[in-house]
């Protein structure tokens, strides 16, 4: 996964300072509120739970798999909702349930080895594709008419990668600009630490602080301005801001360097699996936290952080156990790990899978296609983030996607999610960074300033991205599967898409990444924002119809 996609530093916002500066504050958890009652374009979750309570509808536990970077298993708001493998005895070094994965208590980590070493960083897939097929295609006259379907696909993506690799000017300009930005942040940070008498502060504290010197006032204004320019939420700690931006720049520099030198193959050094063999699948370790669980911890909290416990924040679903499957490094995920992660989740009882990641190349897409087909056959729903590049993915390559590569058909159990915004925050209804597409994006969900769990010391904070929008949909899907267990995955998908809230048509909106006016309903298949209250009511009616049909069938048999 690209740094841009995974790190949530939505660099498209670099050139929209004026819009960002006008953002107003929104309450923590605004994404759960109701547009009519609360005046925020959330998902009407409280209304959904009130309806369930008023109609005495009870829930059953549901397992949700989160394919991501890892999760903080010690977090106060997550400990109680994590899945525990009921057939595995913790820490005995034995594969008690004979599934091939030793001590998989919370799930499995496909980015490590049996000795406990883990991959943190991986190269981008574009570079991997370029060097994988370079000897086969570079400098050669290729007659595509004699190639197999697989070879044609490999040649097509190699040619795309080669063309992109030869364009370096824009990348270098962005790196230079970001380095200037980083140096300005560091300078302001040093001044503010001295003025405030603190080594660490967040932007909320800074906003309420009144510097005594002119230099301090300039530093405060400059610091907050630069934070908003790079899309960092005002409640992130300053050390995280600097480190995140530095890591992003380092990643861009690595990608630029890879145009001349193959990326480091961390996988061969640590995992040591036979990557080209999908049947070599029993690798990894049970460390589902991994070296950097920030992203996965935030996603997990959005789905199911313990509700109504007076701590931190409330997740969407209230009777869910979350299984963590670590497949996302700092960089682009590997197709093999994603495919095996889906198989693992399905085989261990997950009914909904959240996949908040993506990339522009997928050399082994056929493996992921096979896993998606398997999930559909096993009645498992997959929720996927649309991506954060302000791109129309009706025309731009975006993976994983539900369209099968070497055969006709589509995985019907997949929902692709774009990110919406509340208009009070100064953008349009669609988040400025969100990918979109009237054919490829199914629905939008809140994805800006989403408050959730963060790793270490039971922390909480805001992040943004379609990575945050997808787990909101996953939470609603899990809620429906919990309270209406007779509904299939395809029925739950149908309900989610048909029950969307269509915003007020008079609201101005813009094509993401531009100031071009566009109707919000043109940005996705449904033209709407997910709505839990509508979905619950529709699900109840559908389950009643199912029960009536079952009753009629039983009478005919008798």
3-state DSSP assignment of residue 359: strand
List the chain pLDDT tens, one digit each, 558 residues.
Answer: 433 333 333 333 332 333 333 455 789 999 999 999 999 999 999 999 999 999 999 999 999 999 999 999 999 999 999 999 999 999 999 999 999 999 999 999 999 999 999 999 998 899 999 999 999 999 999 999 999 999 999 999 999 999 988 875 667 777 887 788 788 888 888 898 888 888 777 666 777 789 989 988 888 888 777 665 555 544 444 555 677 677 778 777 777 777 778 888 899 999 999 999 999 999 999 999 999 999 999 999 999 999 999 999 999 999 999 999 999 999 899 999 999 999 999 999 999 999 999 999 999 999 999 999 999 999 999 999 999 999 999 999 999 999 999 988 999 999 999 999 998 887 789 999 999 999 999 999 999 999 999 998 889 988 899 999 999 999 999 999 999 999 999 999 999 999 999 998 767 688 998 889 999 999 999 999 999 999 999 999 999 888 787 777 777 766
Question: Could you tell me which of 501, 500, 536, 506 has the C-alpha nearest to residue 519?
Answer: 506
C-alpha of 385 from chain center: 5
Torsion sign, CA atoms 293, 299, 302, 307 = negative
* Residue 218, C-beta contacts closer than 8 angstroms, at least 6 positions apart: none
The pLDDT, as a whole number, for residue 11 is 34
Residue 558 burial (CB count, 10 A) = 5
Q: What tokens were used for 214?
A: 């002119």
Cβ neighbourhood burial of 184 (10 Å; 0-12, 13-18, 19+): middle
Is 319 within 8 Å of 59 (Cβ atoms)?
Answer: yes
List the Cα angle 498/342/263 in 5-degree steps.
115
Residue where the block lists tokens 């109840």: 540
CA–CA distance, 151 with 155 (Å, rounded to integer): 6
Phi, psi values for residue 262, rounded to 5°:
-55, 145
The pLDDT, as a whole number, for residue 4 is 37
CA–CA distance, 164 with 420 (Å, rounded to integer): 30
3-state DSSP assignment of residue 537: helix
The pLDDT, as a whole number, for residue 244 is 67
In DSSP notation, 511-533 reads -TTS--B--GGGSSSS-SB--HH
Strand partners, 462: 451
The pLDDT, as a whole number, for residue 138 is 93
The pLDDT, as a whole number, for residue 24 is 59
Q: What's the predicted TM-score (pTM) here? A: 0.88
């Amino acid at each position: 996964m690209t740094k841009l996609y995974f790190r949530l530093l939505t660099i498209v916002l670099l050139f929209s300072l004026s819009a960002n500066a006008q953002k107003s504050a929104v309450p923590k958890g605004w994404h759960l509120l109701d547009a009519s009652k609360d005046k925020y374009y959330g998902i009407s979750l409280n209304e959904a739970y009130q309806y369930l309570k008023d109609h005495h509808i009870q829930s059953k536990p549901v397992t949700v798999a989160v394919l991501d970077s890892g999760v903080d298993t010690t977090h106060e708001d997550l400990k109680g909702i994590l899945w525990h493998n009921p057939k595995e005895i913790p820490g005995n070094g034995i594969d008690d349930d004979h599934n091939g994965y030793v001590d998989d208590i919370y799930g499995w980590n496909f980015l490590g080895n049996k000795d406990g070493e883990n991959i943190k960083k991986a190269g981008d897939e574009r570079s991997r594709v370029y060097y994988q097929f370079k000897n086969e295609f570079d400098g050669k006259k290729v007659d595509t008419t004699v190639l197999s379907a697989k070879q044609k696909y490999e040649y097509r993506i190699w040619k795309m990668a080669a063309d992109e690799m030869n364009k370096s000017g824009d990348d270098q300009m962005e790196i230079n600009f970001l380095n200037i930005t980083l140096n300005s942040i560091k300078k302001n940070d040093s001044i503010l630490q001295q003025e405030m008498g603190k080594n660490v502060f967040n932007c909320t504290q800074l906003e309420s602080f009144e510097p005594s010197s002119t230099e301090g006032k300039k530093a405060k204004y400059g610091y907050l301005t630069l934070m908003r320019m790079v899309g960092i939420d005002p409640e992130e700690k300053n050390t995280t801001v600097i480190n995140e931006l530095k890591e992003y720049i380092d990643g861009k520099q690595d990608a630029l360097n890879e145009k001349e030198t193959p990326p480091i193959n961390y996988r061969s050094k640590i995992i040591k699996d036979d990557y080209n063999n999908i049947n070599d699948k029993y690798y990894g370790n049970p460390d589902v936290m991994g070296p950097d669980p920030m992203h996965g911890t935030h996603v997990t909290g959005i789905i199911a952080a313990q509700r109504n416990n007076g701590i931190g924040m409330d997740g969407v679903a209230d009777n869910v156990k979350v299984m963590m499957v670590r497949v996302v490094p700092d960089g682009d995920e590997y197709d093999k790990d994603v495919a095996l992660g889906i198989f693992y989740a399905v085989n261990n009882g997950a009914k909904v899978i959240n996949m908040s990641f993506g990339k522009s190349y997928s050399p082994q897409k056929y493996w992921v296609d096979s896993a998606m087909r398997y999930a559909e056959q096993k009645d498992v729903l997959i929720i996927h983030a649309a991506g954060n590049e302000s791109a129309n993915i009706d025309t731009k390559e975006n993976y994983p996607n539900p369209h099968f590569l070497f055969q006709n058909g589509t995985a019907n159990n997949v929902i692709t999610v774009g990110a919406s915004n509340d208009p009070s925050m100064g953008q349009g209804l669609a988040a400025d960074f969100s990918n979109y597409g009237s054919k490829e994006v199914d629905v939008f969900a809140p994805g800006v300033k989403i408050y959730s769990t963060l790793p270490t010391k039971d922390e909480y904070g805001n992040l943004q991205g379609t990575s945050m929008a997808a787990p909101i949909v996953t939470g609603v899907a899990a809620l429906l599967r919990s309270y209406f267990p007779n509904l299939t995955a395809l029925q739950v998908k149908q309900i989610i898409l048909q029950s969307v809230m269509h915003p007020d048509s008079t609201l101005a909106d813009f094509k993401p990444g531009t100031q071009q006016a566009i109707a919000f309903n043109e940005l996705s298949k449904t033209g709407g924002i997910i709505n839990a209250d509508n979905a619950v009511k529709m699900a109840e009616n559908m389950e009643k119809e199912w029960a009536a049909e079952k009753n009629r069938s039983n009478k005919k048999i008798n």
